[in-house]
Structure 1
Amino acid sequence: GLRQGEKLYEELITEGEDVVPTDHNKIMVLKSTNGYNGYADQAAYRKWLFSKIDDLAYYAKNHDACGIKEKLAEIVPEYKMQDSDCVL
């Protein structure tokens, strides 16, 4: 049986991604359909992302598990925090 936290099935392709073919039929590459996470250019996206990474480092330094997981949810829209998930 499954252990707690294990998944029976994991979605590999999420909304907002397209499959790009490769030379190997069992290898796929995904490309975002909304550019840089909705940002107009890569520089703006990098600025946003680096800010979020700085926030993650702050929460990690302060051992703030809930802060870390809330920030992850901002960065990764598919991440769903469980109610009792504030323990690292």
Structure 2
Amino acid sequence: MNKIVREHYPAAKLPEDLREGLDADAKVRVVVEVEGEPRSALPAFPERRVRDQPMTIEETKALISKVRAQDRPSVSTEEAVARIRELRDEWDY
């Protein structure tokens, strides 16, 4: 995003239409942003872009290989259900 910020800018240097209602010796903060660019709801966090096109087969295979290379232990359905029940039931006592 293109953005220009000027802190403590003299109000006297602003165009006349922007100076309305301001003292001539006032200091202002000026922010200039390009219109039409999407603004982030959470500017501190990078945004994830939504793809315009679905992933290709090659991209899908590469992503699957990348996940498998992380060597995460697989969990059976029974193990997953047991863990969830244990977490759920710990509040019953």
**TM-score normalised over the length of structure 1:** 0.22
Larger strand percent: 2
**TM-score normalised over the length of structure 2:** 0.22
**Structure number with higher relative contact order (C-alpha < 8 Å, ≥ 6 residues apart):** 2
